[in-house]
Amino acid sequence: MDSQKDALQRIIATLANKNEELQNFIETLNHTLGRVQVNSTQVVSDLEEEFDTLYSILDEMKGSMTNTIKQETVRKSHELQKQLTQSTSALESAEELLEFANNALHITDEEDFTKAARQIKDRVTMAPAFRLTLKPKATDNMRHLMVDFSKERLLLQGLKFLPVPRAPEIVLGDCLVIDNEVTVTWRMPEEDSKIDHYILEYRKTNHEGLPRVKDEQCWEVLDDVKSTEHTLQGLRFDTRFMNFRVRACNKAAAGDYSDPVTLETRAFNFGFDSTSSHLNLKVEDRSVEWDPQGGKGVDSKVKGKENKGRSGTPSPKRTSVTRSPAPRGARDRFTGESYTVLGDTSFESGQHYWQVKPQKDCKSFSVGLAYRNLGKFDQLGKTNTSWCIHINNWLQNSFAAKHNNKAKNLDVPVPDTIGLYCDFDQGQLSFYNAENKQLLHTFKVKFTQPVVPAFMVWCGGLTLSTGLQIPSAVRSFQKTENGLGGSNSSIS
């Protein structure tokens, strides 16, 4: 019966996953179908605009060339008309002179004949007919204004849609996720020398498998990627996965997207548990800061009831982030001289890494791990339920690893940023210089219950960095050194 139930549960899980895949696929199809209509309308509009522009250019050219022909017609007509007028006037004058000469032949008086002959000779010398150029100043030829659009016609007849690059293929085996960097590699299905650049898009998600059309995150765009590989650096892995897709572009157009891929970007994410923090600590999203005014000015009865004569009770005039009432089952706030706040996420297996950066003028702070049942008056490192390194910059400087009220001084420089690595299953808590990955100290512990990141700060502040993968240098060191060089059984 139990085995059949287990088998049925597996079948149900398989069917549920398949239903989710089909639902996502149907949403993708509907989204794609809608985009086809939208994009089709857009390209038709773009095509009409291009042709309208082409028509406008042709109309403009036609008007300009027609105007040139008209101007040439006017010029030639003017020249020919002018010659015609001059020739007509010359002809009339010549005809009159010819008639006068014919009449002179009939003059019998010698003196009159001589006089007439002299007049005719003078008039012939000055006659317009003999000064005119008997060649048209313009021809009737207009072929120099003819056009041959055969090449242009062939060019127009050869108009085609823009050549679009094919979709690239992301090489999943060559993609790499390490040290909060993601390297994405792709290739073209065939050589294309006209590709100018690529567009890489990515988004964070908590859904495994193919990207969903309806996702909480929007696609981030990286344009003008020149090679077929790109590395995204300085990422915070605050989701389980990241989706990637890429498209190729030539000088004219962008091609289709590649098939998207999903890469796992799992990391340890947590924040401060403000319900656990001492009232002299001001807790923000990723920072905690000493607040000497916290908890002052409250009713003395509340003070006596909550802290039995100690300071640090809630203040309605407190200027830090508003804290909601602690949920039922939540632990007590730290109080007294335990200026402590815990993380809001515990773990009981696996390997985890996070970083803490103190303010430069911070006088005292501790970072480490604790069980959630750490007493509200307990200070980190002074009980058998907490492990930390402690930095004191007040009166007497010290840098020590602490556990169960025992301390070991650390003969290394205090780093600007401290990296914490915990392998719960191997019972190991290590502290590193986050910049150069120098090992500062390692506790060897057999954890008996879930642990939670813990922080103490006095007269200063801390900034928390989570969503970090375990650095490759730390992984390598843990494998080769197995935590040696920083461990000390006397305080473990």
Q: What's the confidence (pLDDT) of residue 308? A: 39
Q: Which of 251, 423, 444, 401 is nearest to 352 (CA)?
A: 423
CA distances from 417 to 358, 402, 410, 421 (A): 7, 19, 16, 13
Q: What's the whole-number mean pLDDT along residues 289-310?
A: 56
Q: Which of 239, 229, 288 is nearest to 266 (CA)?
A: 239
Q: What's the whole-number mean pLDDT along residues 9-32?
A: 86
Q: Is the pLDDT of residue 65 over 90?
A: yes
Question: What confidence tier does 8 reach under pLDDT thresholds 50, 70, 90?
Answer: confident
CA distance 393 to 290: 15
Q: Is the pLDDT of residue 305 over 50?
A: no
Q: Is the pLDDT of residue 213 over 60?
A: yes
Q: Is the pLDDT of residue 326 over 80?
A: no
Q: What's the confidence (pLDDT) of residue 291? A: 92
Q: What's the confidence (pLDDT) of residue 420? A: 97
Q: What's the confidence (pLDDT) of residue 211? A: 73
Is the pTM above the cut of 0.95?
Answer: no
100 token code pair: 């006068």
Q: What's the confidence (pLDDT) of residue 331? A: 63
Q: What's the confidence (pLDDT) of residue 295? A: 66
Residue-range domains of the chain with CATH: 1-158 (no CATH), 169-264 (2.60.40.10), 272-293+331-482 (2.60.120.920)
CA distances from 136 to 78, 89, 118, 141 (A): 12, 16, 33, 12
Q: Is the pLDDT of residue 431 over 60?
A: yes
Q: Are strands 340-342 and 461-465 parallel, antiparallel or unpaired?
A: unpaired
CB 199 within 8 A of CB 219: no
CA distance 245 to 473: 30
Q: Is the pLDDT of residue 155 over 70?
A: yes
Indicate left, alpha or beta for 308 from its phi (over 0: left) and psi (-120 to 50: alpha).
Answer: left
CA distance 245 to 225: 13
Q: What's the confidence (pLDDT) of residue 318? A: 32
Mean pLDDT of the chain: 87
Q: What's the confidence (pLDDT) of residue 313? A: 31
CB 364 within 8 A of CB 455: no
Bridge partners, residue 293, by sequence: none
Q: What's the confidence (pLDDT) of residue 122? A: 85
pLDDT in tens, 432-456: 999 999 999 999 999 999 999 999 9
Q: Is the pLDDT of residue 477 over 90?
A: no
CA distance 248 to 254: 6
- Identity of the highest mean pLDDT range in 19-23, 36-40, 167-171, 296-300: 167-171
Q: What's the confidence (pLDDT) of residue 325? A: 43
pLDDT in tens, 234-283: 999 999 999 999 999 998 889 999 999 999 998 999 999 999 999 999 99
